[in-house]
Amino acid sequence: MSEAGSRLKKLDAITSAFVRFGILAVWPTLVAIALGATLFAATHADLLPQMFDNKLTREQRFVGLGYFAVSLVAVAAFYLVLLRYWRRAQRSLGIDRALWLDPYLSFVLSGPPIVALTEPKIETAHLWLTWLYIALAVLAWWPTFRAWSSHRTALRQRSILSARQRDILSVGIVLALWVAYSYFFAKVAITSHHAFRMRTMDLGVYDNLFFQSSHGRPLACTLCRGGTHASAHFDPLLVVLSPLYRLWPRAEFLLTLQAVWCGAGVVAAYLIGRSQLGSRAWGLIWAVVYAVHPALHGANLYEFHSLTLLFTPLLFALYFLLSGKLRLYYVSLGALLLVREDVPLLMCFVGLFGVISGEPGYKRAGWITILVSVVYFVVVKSVFMAAPGLFNQGAGAHGYAYYYEEMIPNKLGELDMFTTLLTNPAFVVDLVTKEKKIHYLLVIFFPLLFLPAWSGRARVMLLYGLTFILLASRTAVYSPHFQYSAVLLPVAIALAPVGLRRLQEARPKDASLTTVLMGCVLVASLLVSWKHGAIAENTSFRGGFRSVARSLNVDEQDRYDSFVELISQIEPDASVSVTDRIGAHVTNRAKVHGLDQNIDTDYYLVEAHDLRGRNKRVLNKRQEEGTIELVGRERHWSLYRAVVPEFAPPKAE
């Protein structure tokens, strides 16, 4: 080799060593910066507002520098101690060995983004910055989970529990999670009801529906058009559940039932995660991912809706289908069709997956699903409901065409929508990419790291939910605070493990992929739930249109107690006319009507803020005619009793 070549080779070696040493020095420095900043913020919470505005004093900045210096020394000592240990153990040393440590400390880099997420109201004042911080925190954990994954097999081999004991432990954890979820959300829902955050529409409607159904009048509701809920929805599952209402005939029963019912989804999520990924641990993580999802919380705490009951049976049905338990799938299909009249449309897409999946037996199951769903939908719409169309438009029916008014500008219903889809794709793209819809999709899919996108042909099952939600003009439909996520989220929850399994099968040499992605999914789910869910308080979450009440202060409890005392004067069998804000507290009776329906009843329960428009005209007219008298008034509420006027005009012969 020439002298010039020898010098060049030596220079390359020096350069390479310098670069590697630089990397070795830079990474621990970044870790020290993140650690120091996180500890400084954690121990000086009172200074967080000044930190967010970068208005720390000179002395406070020196304190922060002190935390960095201590962290730098601690990180350097950590490296040196391990290197010394390896040297005594006669293991290989050098820069490569030191670099091997770096991924294990990567999670420390998530500290500053997480601290930033503690800024008050950041989730609403700086929406996209919130998503950026969440993404950075998740990325910081990626190398750490990859490093830790090498120890997972060893830990499993060292387990002191038998397979049966691990099964029992896993089931116990899932049941405990179900109980914890049910208790928390039932408590918050009932507290919100007592804080007057829930309305006659919709909680009162369903409360009266349960009362009527439990007394032999299936789906009857005196608050609905035509006296039946079938003018709006056909949900016979509520009739099946209604005998339970006799145990606790109040709206609080519905709120508790909904929490327990949705909470049962953790069992299905556990089974899906375990069956698709082959691990109890992954099943448990998947149960947690389901339980902390903000869209589930929003639906669960938005009063009561039959569509919200779709979460759990749909998850079980998808578990049975994806795991090949087709007989149980057929049973669950029958239960699903009872949830609401439009569920068969969703199940047609589930059936389409069966047809195109290529799995043994699935094609037959797919065609059966489609056939049964179509027949059931046609029979329900033509026999049991007031209007046959998709949007329920018709005389005596509660229509939903206004949900999609931008897609049907000529008021031609379904024909107008399909015409827009086929002839104006540019408008459709603009409609589905609105900022609020992008945020909605992030809330749904980011906690799952978009894994459903890798689920192969099973992705077809997402089409109905995406179409139903993204084509809507009504903002409630594409909000995680309402019940409409029930047509999309359960499918996404079921398909994400499928996508992860397929990714792992496509990369068999990367044994750590499942561990890394599951760890990151857990971190992402917890952070998104923190900023957009109901478990931790934040400014983003709402149960429907209103914020939820986690507890009642002394004044709020006194207010509720005084209201209960007022309505205790109404006999259980008396008929009542109510206004929207307070009606759900007295809808557990045979005859209850909206004040604006202008129907003669025994009592009239009125909230002052509701006295406008038709409500005000109806009440004023009855007062002028002398047909009602004031029984009692508490704060904003007034209770009137029907009376015969003293000088009643003679009736016409």
Model pLDDT for residues 205-229, shown as the tens digit of each residue: 999 999 999 999 999 999 999 999 9
Residue 335 and residue 244 share a domain = yes
Residue 284 and residue 211 share a domain = yes
Q: Judging by DSSP bridges, how do beta strands 592-594 and 628-634 pair with one another?
A: unpaired
The whole-number pLDDT of residue 571 equals: 95
Does the residue 487 lie in any domain? yes
Averaged pLDDT, 232-254: 97
Mean pLDDT of the chain: 91
Averaged pLDDT, 294-305: 98
How far is the C-alpha of 586 from the C-alpha of 429, rounded, in Å? 46
Residue 187 and residue 103 share a domain = no
The residue to which tokens 């090949």 are assigned: 324
Residue 194 and residue 125 share a domain = no
Instruction: Tell me how many domains the chain contains.
Output: 3
**Contact call for residues 239 and 394 (beta carbons, < 8 A):** no
Give residue-wise pLDDT tens across range 351-405: 999 999 988 889 999 999 999 999 999 999 999 998 888 888 888 888 888 999 9
Residue 454 and residue 426 share a domain = yes
Does the residue 649 lie in any domain? no
Does the residue 534 lie in any domain? no
Backbone angles phi, psi at 546, to 5 degrees: -125, 155
Give residue-wise pLDDT tens across range 83-109: 777 666 555 555 556 667 778 889 999
Cα–Cα separations (whole angstroms), residue 602 to 294, 586, 649: 42, 13, 20
- Percentage with pLDDT > 90 across the chain: 77
Would you place residue 173 in the very low, low, confident or very high pLDDT band (cuts 50, 70, 90)? Answer: very high
Residue 571 and residue 593 share a domain = yes
Does the residue 261 lie in any domain? yes
Residue 290 and residue 197 share a domain = yes
Give the residue, 4 or 263, on which the prediction is more confident: 263
Backbone angles phi, psi at 632, to 5 degrees: -170, 155
Picking from 128, 157, 186, the residue at the C-terminal end of a domain is: 157
- Percentage with pLDDT > 70 across the chain: 91
Give the residue, 416 or 185, on which the prediction is more confident: 185
Residue 145 and residue 286 share a domain = no
Picking from 157, 187, 212, the residue at the C-terminal end of a domain is: 157
Buried b (16+ CB within 10 A) or exposed e, 22-53: eebeebbebbbbbbbbbbbbeebeebbeebee
Does the residue 515 lie in any domain? no
**Contact call for residues 284 and 516 (beta carbons, < 8 A):** no
- Residues 6+ positions from 109 with CB-CB distance below 8 Å: 30, 31, 34, 140
Q: Which amino acid is at 446?
A: F
The whole-number pLDDT of residue 432 equals: 96
Q: What share of the chain is helix, strand, coil (3-state, %, to 5)?
A: 70, 5, 30
Residue 168 and residue 77 share a domain = no
The whole-number pLDDT of residue 23 equals: 58
The whole-number pLDDT of residue 601 equals: 96
Backbone angles phi, psi at 597, to 5 degrees: -75, -15
The DSSP bridge partners found for residue 639 are 605, 632
Does the residue 571 lie in any domain? yes
Give residue-wise pLDDT tens across range 624-650: 999 999 999 988 999 999 998 765 555
Domain residue limits at 615: 554-642
Does the residue 257 lie in any domain? yes
Question: Helices marked H in 414-488 — which ranges?
Answer: 414-423, 425-432, 435-445, 463-470
Residue 611 and residue 579 share a domain = yes
Give me 142's structure tokens: 């990626």
Give residue-wise pLDDT tens across range 183-212: 999 999 999 999 999 999 989 999 999 999
552-560 — which CB contacts under 8 Å span 24+ positions? 552/191, 552/194, 552/195, 556/194, 556/195, 559/635, 560/194, 560/195, 560/196
DSSP annotation string for 351-411: HHHHHHS--TTHHHHHHHHHHHHHHHHHHIIIIISS--STT--STTS---GGGGTTT-TTS
DSSP annotation string for 460-480: GGGHHHHHHHHT--STTTT-T
Most confident range, picked from 60-64, 173-177, 402-406, 623-627: 173-177
Would you place residue 458 in the very low, low, confident or very high pLDDT band (cuts 50, 70, 90)? Answer: very high
Does the residue 190 lie in any domain? yes
Averaged pLDDT, 598-621: 95
pLDDT at 622 over 60: yes
Residue 341 and residue 193 share a domain = yes
Beta strand residue intervals within 576-627, DSSP E:
576-578, 592-594, 603-607
How far is the C-alpha of 320 from the C-alpha of 164, rounded, in Å? 23
Would you place residue 416 in the very low, low, confident or very high pLDDT band (cuts 50, 70, 90)? Answer: confident
Picking from 506, 533, 563, the residue at the C-terminal end of a domain is: 506
Residue 310 and residue 193 share a domain = yes
Give me 104's structure tokens: 């294990």
